[in-house]
Structure 1
Amino acid sequence: MFRLAHLSDIHLGPLPELSYRELASKRITGYINWQRNRKRAMFGDTLLRLVADLKAQAPDHVAVTGDLVNLATREEIVGARIWLEDLGDPRWVSVVPGNHDAYVPGALKRVYHEWHPYLVGDDGLAPHHRHYPYMRVRGSVAIIGTSSAEATAPFFATGTFKRGQALATARMLEEAKARGLFRVVMIHHPPIAGAAAWSKRLIGKQFFSKVIHDAGAELVLHGHTHLDTLYWLTGPGGEKVPVAGIPSASQNVGGSKPASRYSLFEIEGEAGDWSLIQRERGFRADGGGIDWVRERRLMRDGTAVAAEGRQTA
């Protein structure tokens, strides 16, 4: 059995001091939003406790689907690299960037430099927008990282998935299928119509849907909405592919969004006969600590049924 953990929307805080030059950009709107909303909702030891709990579960790999920072300042990006190093060895952690990691023009270039070992595929290509997607093979699992991150205008948090990346993703999925691997696709924005507000949507989601329809996959992971969601896309034989979102890993109990959580996906079987169970752990609504939130088997017919007792490493 292969156990894959999923974290997203880390939003490391608190914010560093910002210069007037830094505030004379889109960062001013993000700074105001942080002070009014996220400063209270995403501060304290919530993330530390969740990560400690995740490590105690001893997953085989960790997928992080973006938004490690808030305003993509140099200090935040370097801090996120230090956080990643504490999370785990780059061979054990795979990352894709989110819109906050690309908050202003030029931010992604620094992200690629600082987080390089966590963004690179097995082929060793240096991370760059032209080098997405990347693929890593761990055991019987192919982890395919795509990027929807881009700098946008104030009050927008959209992402893009263009035709070129779609074609490359399809090729990787076909290669992984030929090798008999369980295929996981990582993306920050949900590739589902209506899953995010218009100003926060994924532009090019039709390309992503076509990739899954033509090449197939076994699981899609995303973040961005800070919600616990499960959607389905249709694969080449009509089978359903689960598209799973997860709340922010830094969200405190009592906010307007679900409290901090991560998923553990248990993957067993072989090509043509995979078994997939999602077990979610997170903070209880009553503030009583971290516990199991939901456990369900994700079926290829697009249904989710209660899972049997959990297995530990």
Structure 2
Amino acid sequence: MFKLAHLSDPHLGPLPDPKLIQLFSKRILGYLNWRRNRSGSMTASYLEQLVEDMQAQAPDHIAVTGDLVNIALPLEIIGARNWLEDVGEPHDVSVVPGNHDAYVPGALRRARAAWLPYMCGDDADTTPPAPGSDAVFPYVRRRGDLAIVGVSTARASGPWFATGRVGIKQTRRLRKILEDLGKEGLFRVVMIHHPPFHNATHWHKRLSDASRVRTVIKRVGAELILHGHTHIVSRSSIDGPDGSVPVIGVPSASNAPGGKKPGARYNLFSIFKENGRWSCQMEERGFTEKGLPVSSIVTDKIEIPASQDQHKTPETRSVHAPSV
């Protein structure tokens, strides 16, 4: 059995004091939003307790689906790298960036350079990529019979927008990667910040080319898609070649309970083979009320589409994947 933990949108605080010149951009809006709203509702206390509980569950791997920072100040990006080191080793933690990590032009390049060991493929060159290059995504990490595929939707957007985009080149690579991993019979987990299903969020926060992602999944499939961005409990699906592929989101990992959005939570997936088919149990853990500790909220079975390749024996697969 493989235990995969998923958390998202920690929006690490408090904000470092910005220089005046750093606010001459979209950052001024994010800074005011932080001061007026998020500084009170997103606190390090809840995040620290949530991470401590998650680590106590001893997951085999941790998926973080973006928005580590708020307005992508250089000191925020450095602080996020320090936080990642507290969460776990790069081998055990996979990250994809969110729209807040690419808040202004140039921010994503700095974030990728700082967090690269946490969002690159196995045995990848950890030299930061050249400016303007997106070849690091999608990346693939194999953990036994599990394949983690990190997709970037992070793009700098205009004021009052929080949109994301995958792009044509990354979409083509994603299709080839998922197709090859599917032929090996691996359990494919796609990590993406913006949710790719229909009507997932408001139009100014949407994944602008979500239809491309849905087309890829429709043609070559995946077993599980994890996202963040919406800060709510999210259970949906999109069509795959062998049935519906579950798409699961999680609330912000730092949000205080009792507000408009759910309190800080993470999901814990237990993935295993049962009678030749993949099985997946999900436990949602987090805060439900102020003053209460992290607890188990929901435990449920996630229906995984059964591809024809799952019924083959290891000897008849195109490539034999090692057991977990």
Deviates more, 1:8-17 or 1:168-177: 168-177
User: In 2, are the aligned partners of 1:65 and 1:223 still within 8 Å (CA)?
Assistant: yes
1:230 and 2:235 are equivalent in the alignment = yes
Which residue among 132, 135, 143 is the counterpart of 2:140? 135
Paired AA for residue 53 in structure 2:
D
Correspondences of 1:52-67 after superposition (within 5 Å): 52-67=52-67
The answer on whether the counterparts of 2:66 and 2:95 sit within 8 Å (CA) in structure 1 is yes
1:58 corresponds to which letter in structure 2? A
Deviation per residue, 1:60-119 (Å, 9 max, x gap): 000000000001011000000000011100000000000000000000111111111001
Alignment correspondent of 1:71: 71
User: CA separation in 1, counterparts of 2:89 and 2:275?
Assistant: 28
| Secondary structure of the structure 2 residue equivalent to 1:189 | coil
Contact 1:253 1:287 in 2 (8 A): no
The equivalent residue for 2:82 is 82
- Partner Cα distance (2:276, 2:179) in 1: 14
**Corresponding residue of 2:156:** 151
Moved over 6 A (4+): none
Q: Which residue of 2 aligns with 1:212?
A: 217
Partners in 2 of 1:277 and 1:26 — Cα distance? Answer: 41
Gaps of 5+ in 1: 303-313
Whole-Å separation in 2 of the counterparts to 1:286 and 1:86: 25
Q: Which residue identity is paired with 1:213?
A: K
Give the Cα separation in 2 of the matches to 1:5 and 1:59: 6
Give the counterpart letter for 2:134 in structure 1. H
In 2: Cα distance, 1:189 partner to 1:226 partner: 11
Q: Paired residue for 1:162, among 158, 164, 167? A: 167
Question: Is 2:284 aligned against 1:280?
Answer: yes
Length, aligned pairs only = 301
Task: Give how far 1:125 is off.
Answer: 4.2
Question: Are 1:176 and 2:176 counterparts?
Answer: no
Call closer, same or farther: CA 1:89–1:44 in 2, change over 3 Å.
closer
Q: Is the 8 A contact 1:125 1:131 kept in 2?
A: no
- Please give the alpha-carbon distance, in whole angstroms, between the structure 2 residues aligned to 1:189 and 1:173: 19
CA distance in 1, matches of 2:106, 2:304: 41
* Pairwise CA distance, 1:166: 1.2
1:25 aligns with 2:25: yes
Shift, 1:163, TM fit: 2.0
Q: The residue matched to 1:203 in structure 2 has which SS?
A: coil
TM-score, with length taken from structure 1? 0.93
Residues in 1 aligned to 2:49 and 2:217: alpha-carbon distance in whole angstroms: 35
Q: In structure 1, how many angstroms separate the alpha carbons of the residues matched to 2:200 and 2:9?
A: 16
Structure 1 window deviating more from structure 2 (267-276 vs 291-300): it is: 267-276
| 1:201 correspondence with 2:206 | yes
Establish whether residue 259 from structure 1 lines up as the match of residue 253 from structure 2: no
The code of the aligned residue for 1:118 comes to Y
Aligned-pair CA distance for 1:286? 5.2
Which residue pairs with 1:51 in the alignment? 51
d(CA) in 2 for partners of 1:296, 1:42: 27
Q: Give 1:161 shift.
A: 1.6
Q: Quick one: structure 1 residues 246 and 34, their matched pair in 2 at CA, closer, same or farther if it must change by over 3 Å?
A: same
**In structure 2, what is the Cα distance between the partners aligned to 1:5 and 1:153?**
32
- 1:223 and 1:165 mapped to 2: Cα distance? 19
Match of 2:286, as an amino acid?
Answer: G
User: What corresponds to 2:252 in structure 1?
Assistant: 248
The within-5 A match list for 1:100-119 is: 100-119=100-119
Kindly tell me: are residues 196 and 224 of structure 1, through their superposed partners in 2, closer, same or farther at Cα, counting changes over 3 Å?
same
TM-score by length of 2: 0.90
Tell me: CA distance 1:300–1:182, structure 2 relative to 1, closer, same or farther (3 Å).
Answer: closer
Q: 1:226 to 1:47 in 2, by over 3 A?
A: same
Q: Distance in 2 between matches of 1:138 and 1:300?
A: 19
Q: Distance in 2 between matches of 1:129 and 1:298?
A: 32
Q: How far did residue 15 of structure 1 move?
A: 0.5
Percent pairwise identity: 52
